[in-house]
Amino acid sequence: MTLPESNSPAQKLDRSDTRLRHDEGLSGALRGFIDRVRSGELGLLPVAVGLLVISIVFSILNPVFLAPNNLVNLLFDASAIGFIALGVVCVLLLGEIDLSVGSMSGLASAMIGVLWVRSGLPMPIAVTGALAAGAAVGLVYAMLRNRFGMPSFVATLAGLLALLGAQLYLLGPSGSINLPFSSPLVRFGQVMVMPDWFSHLLALLPGAVLIINGLRKMSLRSAANLSYEAASLLILRAFTLTLGLQFAVYYLNQGRGIPWMFAIFVLFVMIMHYALKRTKWGRSVYAVGGNPEAARRAGINVERIRMSAFVLCSMFATVGGILGAARLASASQQAGTADVNLNAIAAAVIGGTSLFGGRGTAWAALFGILVIQAISNGLTLLNLSSSLRYMITGGVLAIAVIIDSMARQSRASHGRG
């Protein structure tokens, strides 16, 4: 692959306008980043600041917080709710919301317990049954929204109670079902970690993909006479990313290692990222979230997009519920209640998904859940009562929404919608 020589701004198709500032090289990239943050495109800044503050505060209060094994536990815990948050991102992008994801995950765990353990059906069939139930719930929400114009927060608020009822009904008077410890599902949720060498190998992948993609894009864009990112910047980014990941993997491998559950979660985040950013469906989701009427006039089937998002959300909540049950090795009445709902929604918002629709990425679920789970984990280590934990988590959600609203106002005043 030969790198094109000249990148002079004047000749490029997209750089011919003289009013445009050309941010070249490292300093240019930095200047562009500062401009974006100022105008309200916060990106991952709140997450980075949040994680930094959390690590400092909790490691001062209790040094165990940053111990490798605690972080491994944190990743195990984060994966289950992370899946739920990934679904929440899908509906938030449309400007809708699903308040029943917690109950849905609880119902899913109850279904696994009843179908698999109590009725003795094979585990894959129980999982399929739970997923089908999730899809059905999503379809009902989509129908209520599309056919009757019911605001999704009311429909899913009703769903929250109805699904919780179904969960309690399924579990019956005994209230909880233990899942067998030796089963693959529970082992997957509790102990299965990657071999060290494999995790190091996997951590090389993002940097390699970044470089290969970047070089391919560079040659294609230069062939099309468009401007492109400098190769030095690309290599610097890939190098920093790889270095960071290798260190993280090395550190976690000092403990039990990287959970397979977390790896699968990250895989799904990447799949959703691709679907949202690189497919027509994803483009339509953003369009419906930004301006439903414009999307409709552009020939997008708004109803079908809504349906796909609600179904995806409920199904991800189901997956989260199943993994949550595997993590606890039980399906109980408490599964999916309390703060699961809010944690999943808060994770999506903290990660940068706007409650107002049309903004955010799949990565929001990953980074948001890391922040939320870090707080929850830190508070547990401090042995605080759940009353205090709820109050603090509530406060964090409020702060996240305030940041979202303020960024939105700032974007409006900087003409970035």
Partner 1 sequence: MENQKSADAKECILRLRGISKQFGAVSALSDIELDVHAGEVVALVGDNGAGKSTLVKVLAGVHQPSSGTIEWCGENVTLDTPSRALDLGIATVYQDLSLCENLDVVANLFLGQELSPYALDEIQMEVRAWTLLQELSARIPSVREPIAALSGGQRQTVAIARSLLLDPKIIMLDEPTAALGVAQTAEVLNLIERVRDRGHGVILISHNMEDVRAVADRIVVLRLGRNNGVFNADTSQSDLVAAITGATDNSVSRRHARTTASQEG
Q: Taking the complex as a whole, how short is the minimal distance between the CB of residue 226 and partner 1, in angstroms? A: 6
Instruction: State which amino acid sits at residue 37.
Output: V
Select 38 or 416, whichever has its Cβ closest to partner 1. 416
Select the span of 130-138, 205-213, 215-223, 332-340 touching partner 1 (CB under 8 A).
215-223
Q: For residues 98-137, which are near partner 1 according to CB under 8 A? A: none
CB atoms within 10 A of CB 398: 11
Select the residue interacting with partner 1 from 13, 52, 61, 132 (CB under 8 A).
13
Backbone φ and ψ for 385, nearest 5 degrees, come out as -70, 155
Select 210 or 381, whichever has its Cβ closest to partner 1. 210
Select 189 or 282, whichever has its Cβ closest to partner 1. 282
Select 190 or 291, whichever has its Cβ closest to partner 1. 291
Residues with Cβ < 8 Å from 384, sequence gap 6 or more?
A: none
Q: Taking the complex as a whole, how short is the minimal distance between the CB of residue 112 and partner 1, in angstroms? A: 33
Select the span of 172-180, 207-215, 239-247, 409-417 touching partner 1 (CB under 8 A).
409-417
Tokens of 125: 């069939």
Rule CB under 8 A: is residue 147 a binding residue for partner 1? Answer: no
Q: Taking the complex as a whole, how short is the minimal distance between the CB of residue 410 and partner 1, in angstroms? A: 12
Select 5 or 17, whichever has its Cβ closest to partner 1. 17
Backbone φ and ψ for 414, nearest 5 degrees, come out as -95, 10
DSSP category for residue 66: G
Select 14 or 391, whichever has its Cβ closest to partner 1. 14
Select the residue interacting with partner 1 from 3, 4, 20, 409 (CB under 8 A).
20
SS (H, E, C) 278-305: HCHHHHHHHHHHHCHHHHHHCCCCHHHH
Q: How many residues bind partner 1 (CB under 8 A)?
A: 38
User: What are the distances in angstroms from CA 380 to CA 99, 137, 191, 215, 353?
Assistant: 25, 33, 21, 46, 27
Q: Taking the complex as a whole, how short is the minimal distance between the CB of residue 65 and partner 1, in angstroms? A: 38
37, 43 in Cβ contact below 8 A? yes
**Binding letters toward partner 1, positions 270-309, x by CB under 8 A:** --------xxxx-xx-xx-xxx-xxxxxxxxx--------
Euclidean distance between CA atoms 244 and 221, whole angstroms: 29
Strand 176-178 relative to strand 330-332, pairing: antiparallel
Euclidean distance between CA atoms 351 and 364, whole angstroms: 4
Q: Taking the complex as a whole, how short is the minimal distance between the CB of residue 131 and partner 1, in angstroms? A: 23
Select 222 or 393, whichever has its Cβ closest to partner 1. 222
Name the 3-class secondary structure at 260: helix
Residues with Cβ < 8 Å from 304, sequence gap 6 or more?
A: none
Select 158 or 302, whichever has its Cβ closest to partner 1. 302
Select the residue interacting with partner 1 from 3, 4, 11, 14 (CB under 8 A).
14
Select the residue interacting with partner 1 from 36, 118, 187, 217 (CB under 8 A).
217
**Binding letters toward partner 1, positions 221-250, x by CB under 8 A:** x--xxx------------------------
Euclidean distance between CA atoms 163 and 185, whole angstroms: 24
Which residue from 362, 316, 323 is spatially nearest to 100, judged by alpha carbons? 316
Which residue from 80, 35, 39 is spatially nearest to 324, judged by alpha carbons? 80
Q: Taking the complex as a whole, how short is the minimal distance between the CB of residue 6 and partner 1, in angstroms? A: 18
Rule CB under 8 A: is residue 358 a binding residue for partner 1? Answer: yes
**Binding letters toward partner 1, positions 334-353, x by CB under 8 A:** --------------------
Select 60 or 280, whichever has its Cβ closest to partner 1. 280
> Residues of 32-49 as b/e, b for ≥16 C-beta within 10 angstroms?
eeeebeebbbbeeebbee
Tokens of 27: 């300093």
Tokens of 178: 């233990």
**Positions in the binding site for partner 1 (CB under 8 A):** 13-14, 17, 19-20, 217, 220-221, 224-226, 278-281, 283-284, 286-287, 289-291, 293-301, 358-359, 411-412, 415-417
